[in-house]
Amino acid sequence: MRPLRFALAQGLLLNDALTALRAIGLDVSRVTPGGRRLVVDGDHVEFVLARPSDIATYVERGAADLAIVGKDVLLETGARVIELVELGFGACRFVVAAPRGAVERSLDEYRHLGTVDVATKYPNVAERHFRARGIAVEIVKVAGSAEVAPQVGLADWIVDLVATGSTLRANGLAVVEEIASSTARLVANPAAYHLRRREIAPVVERLAKWAAAR
Amino acid sequence: MSQQSPIGPPRGFRDILPTEARELGLIEQTLAEVFADSGFTPLHPPLLEYGADDSTKRRRIQFLDRDGSLVALRPDLTTSVARLVAGRYREMTGVLRLSYIAPVFREEPAMSGGAREVLQAGVELVGGGGALADAEILALLVESLERCGLAVCESTVQVGDVGLVGGLFADLPEDVRGEVLAALRQGDIAGALRRAQQAAMPPDQLERAAIALTATDIGVGVGGAGELCNVIELARERWPGSAKRWGVPNLALLPALPYYTGVVFEAIHPNAGVIASGGRYDLLFGAFGRPRPAIGFAIDVLQLHRALFADAWEPRSQRPLLLLRASDDERATMRCAAALRAGGLAVALGDVAERAGRAVIEAEVIDERLVRLGDGRVADAAALCLAIRS
């Protein structure tokens, strides 16, 4: 059988994830953030680096057995994986934001025109949220920088992922509502979690202890 | 749109070519025999059922019928069987043993590689309750997989209990318990435990729930875990004296379908993922009128085939096909073929380009009784029949 394959999200979470894995005694010395080798051997465990949104797909389809990935990615992709440990780092929030001082005006418009345009990189999260709240919106999917959408007249509101909120402030936006909060999670492929429980259980146990001690 | 007709099927559907179809046929035949050996009778619910305007059922493939009603390609057979039983066996209180081998249809997001047509083979034991019924169905699943040729090892089958998991969170307010169970149904163990913690679940209970959901060895302090283990032990008695210890308890196993109430189980293969799932669903019948105890399972036949294929399965070979080249005398050719078929051989006149992995013997008609084999030998039809059949 191939070694346990552990997928790691490139980007903001990677350094914290490596710290956690080092702390529980896994050999991550060959994983180099920003390096060109994306599949590296780590002594009984193979590490794969991928874009955060692909990590969920890797684990759902069993290409990786375990991964550390943000809850935000899981919420947007709806991937069917087992979420085992809340790791505590990488905290961020999905929020609805609107130009400061313009919330009242856009609500007026909503009553008048019956719909609000919402720009977002996260159409699934946005759609689910507004459907649950019973607000009729048009989702405008953008590939990046949703925060400029109200300024350039692309949309009235945005749904975005924020950590500190400074990007929103810099673009004259204010949080209207919080949708969900997110931190990094240890996730597993359901079949692999069952079949390779003996290998996975110690990782789960040690990461849970590590997270609880923080 | 281009003028040419599309040459491939719609997304999520695929063609099954003769070699695979032959192998699937063997699996289906074996499963039908295993089900019949335990007294299950086949039935055929319709392909279409009424749809539901319900956002939780978005995985259905639904469309409007010409009369304006919403219809759906059946998303699973258990619900169809429950509807059928509630309608057609309303007055019957006895036990029904029903089986099916039929496709179901589920919506999958585009470009996710997901199949929208799934071939299921399953059984439903309606009206049977208790540990014996649980064990019988669990054992029947294992027997079905084994008789198809799958090597069942210790971790192939995992067994959970929806009721026991509910019990772990019994002291929480009902709405919170609902949220916790909903999270667990989606595989979100971490989120479920956090929700329980936020609702001020006492630390010792929380600890116990965490252990029950993640430990490799359940039973520590979980009320009712003994009964779950008992069901597995009882199911193993299907093979008296066998030392084989298949079946691993796993309380974190909570199917996404909400109708399960008791024992639930899944069969898993390293290459094919989940190949079968089932459990006790005593509440489903309530939705159609009168509650009845019921338990069943469904095998994903294509995934089972994939698992067998990955394990280098060699399907039972078919009798060889005799490819009979015609002579100038077409009457003699027809008579010769008839004689060979009467003798129990499979005979095709001319050639077959797609042999689907089937062995062939080539021969040429000499007259109505004699053929010349590929190596030049001349054989009599009756003698050839005997030689090939043995």
Q: Write out pLDDT tens, residues A186-211.
A: 999 999 998 888 899 899 989 999 99
Residue of A nearest to B274 (CA): A191
**In the block, residue with structure tokens 């249809």:** B105
Same domain, yes or no: B228 and B368: no
Whether B38 and B140 have beta carbons less than 8 Å apart is answered as yes
Closest CA relative to residue A192, chosen from A200, A183, A184: A200
Compute how many other C-beta atoms are within 10 angstroms of the C-beta atom of residue B168.
Answer: 28
Same domain, yes or no: B141 and B79: yes
Same fold, A4-91+183-213 and A92-181: yes
Which range is most confident: A88-97, A163-172, B31-40, B52-61? B31-40
B133 lies in some domain = yes
C-alpha radius of gyration, chain B, whole number: 27
Q: The sheet that has B41-42: what strands, in order across it?
A: B41-42, B96-105, B117-126, B294-300, B273-280, B263-269, B157-161, B248-249
Percent over 70 (pLDDT), chain B: 95
Angle between helices B189-198 and B203-214 (to 10 degrees): 170
Going from the C-alpha of B113 to that of each of B27, B94, B104, B247, the distances in angstroms are 24, 43, 17, 30
| CATH class of the domain at A92-181 | alpha beta
Contact A85 B248 (CB under 8 A): no
Q: Where are the domains of chain A?
A: 4-91+183-213, 92-181
Contact A83 B191 (CB under 8 A): yes
- Give the CATH number for residue B129: 3.30.930.10
- Six token digits for residue B160: 């959970």
Same domain, yes or no: B133 and B244: yes
Provide the strand spans (E) within chain A.
4-9, 39-41, 45-50, 66-70, 82-86, 92-99, 116-120, 137-141, 157-162, 173-182, 184-188
CA A117/CA B28 separation, integer angstroms: 52
Strands A4-9 and A66-70: parallel
Of B283, B310, B337, which residue is a domain's last? B310
Per residue in B78-125, pLDDT (tens digit) is 999 999 999 888 888 889 999 999 999 998 877 677 789 999 999 999
Contact A194 B187 (CB under 8 A): no
The answer to whether domain A4-91+183-213 has CATH 3.40.190.80 is no
Which amino acid makes up residue B21?
A
Q: What is the mean pLDDT of residues A23-52?
A: 83
Domain count, chain B: 2
Residue B388 neighbours by CB under 8 Å, 6+ apart? B319, B320, B322, B345, B361
Give the end-to-end CA distance of chain B in Å, rounded to a whole number. Answer: 57
B77 lies in some domain = yes
Same domain, yes or no: B65 and B141: yes
Interface of chain B toward chain A, CB-CB under 8 angstroms? 55, 109, 112-113, 155, 158, 186-191, 194, 214, 216, 248, 250, 252, 256, 266, 268-270, 273-274
Contact B266 A80 (CB under 8 A): no
Provide φ and ψ at B294, rounded to 5°: -160, 150
- Six token digits for residue B36: 């019949």
Chain A residues with CB-CB distance to B191 below 8 A:
71, 83, 86
| Structural domain span for residue B71 | 18-167+203-310
Contact B214 A80 (CB under 8 A): no
Same domain, yes or no: B133 and B216: yes
> What pLDDT is recorded for position A134?
85
Q: What is the ipTM of this complex?
A: 0.77
B224, pLDDT greater than 80: no
Contact B216 A198 (CB under 8 A): yes
Tell whether pTM > 0.90.
no
